[in-house]
Amino acid sequence: MNGRFLRRVRAFFTRRRLDRELDAELAAHLDLAIEENLERGLSPEEARRVALAELGGAQQARERHREARGLMRLDIFLHDLRYTFRTLGRDPGFTAVAILILALGIGANIAVFSVVNTLMLRPLPFPNAQELVWIAPPPQKCGLSCATYSTDAYDEFRMYTHSYQDVTGYFAFSSPGNLSLTIGNSGPLPATSIDVIANFFNVLGVRPAMGRLFTPADALDGASPVIVLSDAWWRRQFNADPQIIGKAFDINGRQTTVVGVLPASFDFGAVFSPGAKIDAITPLDLYGPPRDWGNIVTLIGRMKPGVTLAQARQDANAALPHMCWNNKYPQSCGSYRRGAIPVPLKEYVSGRLRRSLIVLWSAVGLILLIACVNLSNLLLARATARSKEFAMRAALGASRGRIIGQLLTESLILSGIGALLGLCLANLLVFWLAHQGAIALPLLGTMRIDGTALAWTLLVALATAFLFGIFPGARMAAGNLQESLKDSGLGAGQSRKHERVRSILVVTEVALACVLLVGAGLLLRSFLKVLDIDLGFQPERAYAIKVDLPPYASDQGLRTQQAYHGLIGRRTAFFQQVIARVLQIPGVETAGFSDYLPLGQNREWGTPWPKGIPQPDALPAGPLVYVVTPGFLRAMGTPLRGRDFNWDDNFNTQSVVIISQAYAQFVAAKAHWDNGDAVGHTLSNGQQDLYIIGVAANVHEETTEGDAGWQIYYPQTQAQPTSAQLVLRATLPVNSGPVLQALRTLNPNQTAAEFRPLQTFVDHANSPRRFFMFLVAAFAALGLLLAALGIYGVISYSVTRQTQEIGIRMALGATMGRVQREVLAATLRLAAIGILLGTAASLAVARLIASLLFATSPWDLATYLGMAAVLLAIAVISGFLPARRAAHVDPMVALRAN
Amino acid sequence: MKPSKLDLLQGTLDLMVLKTLAAMGSLHGYGIARRIEQVSGNQVLLNQGTIYASLVRLEQRGWIRSSWGVSGNHRKAKFYSLTAAGQRRLSEDARYWERLSGVMDRVLQMDKDSGALPEDGEPA
């Protein structure tokens, strides 16, 4: 049977030769028959006639021959295909609009599918990624500060658990620009690296593109410094030097050897720190000074094959009592009361985005549905015009299946071309999105249109073709033959029926667009609310730059208190100089330093508490710590009650702190301080007393949308800052030139660090919401456009159909205004029904996006009213053109036509 | 009035063609058609053109083969002949038809008195 199929396929492709051969055979047949008839004594004419009659029609013989030997269906399909291209070519306007609508609808779907696929469907880009888990306490307000462990705790976790192949982690508090690379005589260049535990890449299963990754020896105290470059940095900074392995560069003043280059597929930022650009990876000295830095490493584990998450969880829980904050303090063992709970790494990376992605996916699904309805509508309009053609074909013997087949072929061609164009559009969009480094969404850079996305495209294209093709096709084929042939004039029965169907389609379209618009409106309103949040600081006209501290001889060993005080003194002098210099720049009002900035990295040092007051069991996460200079809070625009630090707060005066409002209120309530005010009271951190000199506004330091946590500010004159971020507030726009110049006069080694408006920190934090809001809004706009097209099409068609009627009425005295009003009223009726249905549907589905909204009810009246108004306005605009045309119908012309 | 001619049952033409070729050896399309008409005593209604659909089908199945040749009166024509597979097929189909017509005979000869239906309709 298979052999026969192959022969049929071959016959299909050699059909010309076979036809010729058959013709020759039939000619021979006739000759033989005629000859025999002549022999029987018939006249030549009679002999030929009888022979032809007995053969029974050469054309019929040919058809049967083709049917028997080849692939009739394919033959028909090719025929339909040729016919389709011909008819589409004859109607370029329709074809262009249809393909454009489809390209937009399908393109949006492919692009969003790629996003969903990258963030949600595809496993993380590691081998056996399902074994990887992120181990941390349940999420808290204080971000990574509450999700980290000390190096001792890490060691013990690794030792006391048995369900993990291995456990690793990275130093969570590297600040951007922590590397300063000096090549040749040019000024030092800033770069960002992350310190990882030496087995980091082994656990993740990352192989180097070149050279090697880390070995335990690289991480030992006193090992010669090594570095692994990211693919991007290697290309950008080192011109993709193939000989780079083994070369050493001056990084942070030390000759550091490049031992490896990471593959392009591994981007630390994309997975662990969305929106951040990580240039290099360095080994973390696990048993050196970091032992005394407190909770600094995250935990990432790879479960043994076959171990379930529940087992891993139990195992982690059992290890908890053995984990010490610092082995030097036995009382700190078992102090990780918040727990260590493994969750799938993928869940940690993109779990929060699931709902946003589903909403996005639904939104493009709606767009596609609207596009289908629109296309159905266009095809119906066309079908009405072509009904006679189809009736004629049916009369000539075309079966119903054949006619539906022809119509489906048309929709397949349209959706095929639309899908191809959509794929191009999606490719552009995906490429653009993949290069939006500033959007804090994980894995965005790895986004591409892959095989899965192509399969999805095919599926969408087929489903679309079927959806918008089957309805007009079925209607066409079901049409009554005679009726269609008779239905000649405009305004006859069939057309009227079609128009009703088209109105229903338009109402559907408006309703779908309404749902989209309401969704987009709610998200937009949430976004505006988010922009309106009092962050606790004023980002406008404030700038930040990372300042490199000049090295001091005593930096390396701070063994004595005297050396420590000396260092702080020199730092203070340097900061004072910088601030004085910067204040001379025109427009700069105030300036100050902090070692961390809100919406950036942060850290926590426990919760200082008044002596003699018992700490409640349910203590919120501890305050985030900022070591700042006088003037910093003013530069940030953070309101302060009490006094700011001044340069005279030093080691000879009492230790002072400023705490945040929420922290102050909590402590004041527990300690029953007068008026609930904390200013003038004293906290203790176990070693020393901290005198509260001021209470600062709550600052959103971790997220813009979440509740603000607690903060505590220490003066830089009494505590050692870990880095130096200069913040300045200006009355005029300031650019980096004069600031860098000022910094370089004081420290020639200052890197060309990024000079960032504080607003960029806020924008970065808001970028995921902005991203989703923008996409949904774009889709809603697209839906609106399609709905407008649909309304315009139907009203315009109905005006054309009624030209005669309008002409008669105007001849009988109807005014232009009246005709126009009536057409507009018809438009508004359609729109109103659509809006009503759409609003009902929105009310029902709004709950689904409730969790994505911020300070906005899913039944927000203003949004619903606003969206209804927008839709009505669009309906009026799209109905206006046909209405005007109707009003300008010349009765004489209208009556003469047809 | 002449009795109307027999319509051919689906598939019977193929068998007739095979049998004709088995009996006559190599033959062209017109010859096959004429031969079938003659043997049937002109009782079958055969559009001679349909013979070619049957021929191409049989050829694709590998039961017959064809080649161009010259007929007795020096005309160029395509000659068909049976293959080994066609021979096998012919005997299978012929057996099947004999069985079927035997059954049909018995069913049609059944009258009210003859009692039970033939037990399994399978002649030994």
pLDDT tens for each residue of A32-78: 888 888 888 888 898 888 888 888 777 888 888 877 777 767 777 78
How many other C-beta atoms lie within 10 A of the C-beta of residue A740? 17
Q: What type of residue is A865?
A: L
| Most confidently modeled range among A444-453, A472-481, A491-500, A623-632 | A623-632
Closest in A25, A31, A33 to B78, CB measured: A25
Alpha-carbon gap, residue A340 to A295, rounded angstroms: 13
Q: Does B47 touch chain A (CB under 8 A)?
A: yes
Hey, are the CB atoms on B49 and A31 less than 8 Å from each other? no
A151: tokens are 């190096």
Hey, are the CB atoms on A55 and B77 less than 8 Å from each other? no
Alpha-carbon gap, residue A446 to A593, rounded angstroms: 36
Preferred mutation among B28, B52, B68 to probe A, highest tally of A CBs within 10 A: B52
β-pair type (B76-82, A640-642): unpaired
Partners of A12 on chain B (C-beta within 8 Å) are none
Nearest Cα to Cα of residue A111 among A429, A444, A503: A429
Hey, are the CB atoms on B30 and A61 less than 8 Å from each other? no
How many other C-beta atoms lie within 10 A of the C-beta of residue A897? 11
What pLDDT does residue A498 have?
67
Over residues A874-892, mean pLDDT:
84
Q: Which of A239-253, A376-390, A805-819 is least confident?
A: A376-390
Opening angle at CA A564, ends A561 and A567, nearest 5: 150
- Please check the confidence at residue A695 and state whether its pLDDT lies above 90: yes
Over residues A656-671, mean pLDDT:
90
Opening angle at CA A551, ends A547 and A556, nearest 5: 125
Hey, are the CB atoms on B28 and A56 less than 8 Å from each other? no
Partners of A11 on chain B (C-beta within 8 Å) are 56, 60
Q: What type of residue is A543?
A: Y
Nearest Cα to Cα of residue A827 among A861, A851, A791: A791
DSSP A119: I
Over residues A609-638, mean pLDDT:
88
Nearest Cα to Cα of residue A239 among A183, A194, A155, A289: A183
Hey, are the CB atoms on A32 and B75 less than 8 Å from each other? yes
Closest in A3, A61, A67 to B49, CB measured: A61
A186-195 residue pLDDT tens = 778 888 999 9
Opening angle at CA B123, ends B118 and B124, nearest 5: 135
Is the Cβ–Cβ distance between A433 and A444 less than 8 Å?
yes
Nearest Cα to Cα of residue A823 among A794, A784, A789, A785: A794
- Please check the confidence at residue A397 and state whether its pLDDT lies above 90: no
A50: tokens are 């009888």
Backbone angles phi, psi at A132, to 5 degrees: -80, 135
Distance (Å) from the C-alpha of residue A394 to the closest C-alpha of chain B? 26
Q: Give me the percent of chain A exceeding a pLDDT of 70.
A: 95
Q: Does B38 touch chain A (CB under 8 A)?
A: no
Alpha-carbon gap, residue B32 to B24, rounded angstroms: 9
What pLDDT does residue B121 have?
46
Opening angle at CA A38, ends A34 and A39, nearest 5: 120
Nearest Cα to Cα of residue A757 among A537, A600, A532, A544: A544
Closest in B50, B62, B76 to A28, CB measured: B76
Preferred mutation among B13, B50, B58, B68 to probe A, highest tally of A CBs within 10 A: B50
Is the Cβ–Cβ distance between B108 and B121 less than 8 Å?
no
Q: What type of residue is A58?
A: A
Nearest Cα to Cα of residue A675 among A655, A645, A658, A695: A695
Hey, are the CB atoms on B30 and A29 less than 8 Å from each other? yes
What pLDDT does residue A840 have?
92
Alpha-carbon gap, residue A4 to A200, rounded angstroms: 60
- Please check the confidence at residue A661 and state whether its pLDDT lies above 80: yes
- In the block, residue with structure tokens 């009624």: A802
What pLDDT does residue A555 have?
52
What is the pLDDT confidence band of residue A301, given thresholds at 50, 70 and 90? very high
Partners of B73 on chain A (C-beta within 8 Å) are 35
What pLDDT does residue B44 have?
75
Q: What is the mean pLDDT of chain A?
A: 85
Q: Is the ipTM beyond the 0.85 threshold?
A: no
Closest in A29, A35, A69 to B73, CB measured: A35
Please state, in angstroms and as integers, the Cα–Cα distance from residue A238 to each residue in A93, A260, A277, A283, A754, following that order.
53, 13, 16, 21, 20
Please state, in angstroms and as integers, the Cα–Cα distance from residue A884 to each residue in A659, A820, A829, A878, following that order.
68, 6, 18, 11
Q: Does B62 touch chain A (CB under 8 A)?
A: yes
Expressed in percent and rounded to 5, the helix, strand and coil fractions of chain A are 55, 10, 30
Hey, are the CB atoms on B30 and A60 less than 8 Å from each other? no
Q: Does B48 touch chain A (CB under 8 A)?
A: yes
- Please check the confidence at residue A643 and state whether its pLDDT lies above 80: yes
As a whole number of Å, the end-to-end CA separation of chain A is 59
Hey, are the CB atoms on B47 and A8 less than 8 Å from each other? no
| Strand locations in A324-451 (E) | 341-344
DSSP A542: E
What pLDDT does residue A692 have?
93
Q: How many CA atoms does the CB half-sphere of A91 hold within 13 Å?
A: 19
- In the block, residue with structure tokens 């309009």: A381
- Alpha helices (H) along A729-802: 736-746, 758-801
User: Is A251 strand, coil or helix?
Assistant: strand
Q: Which pTM value belongs to this model?
A: 0.75
Please state, in angstroms and as integers, the Cα–Cα distance from residue A849 to each residue in A111, A118, A442, A772, B8, following that order.
21, 21, 21, 12, 69
What pLDDT does residue A303 have?
93
How many other C-beta atoms lie within 10 A of the C-beta of residue A541? 18
A585-622 residue pLDDT tens = 988 999 999 988 888 777 777 788 888 888 887 777 78
A to B CB pairs, distance under 8 Å: 79
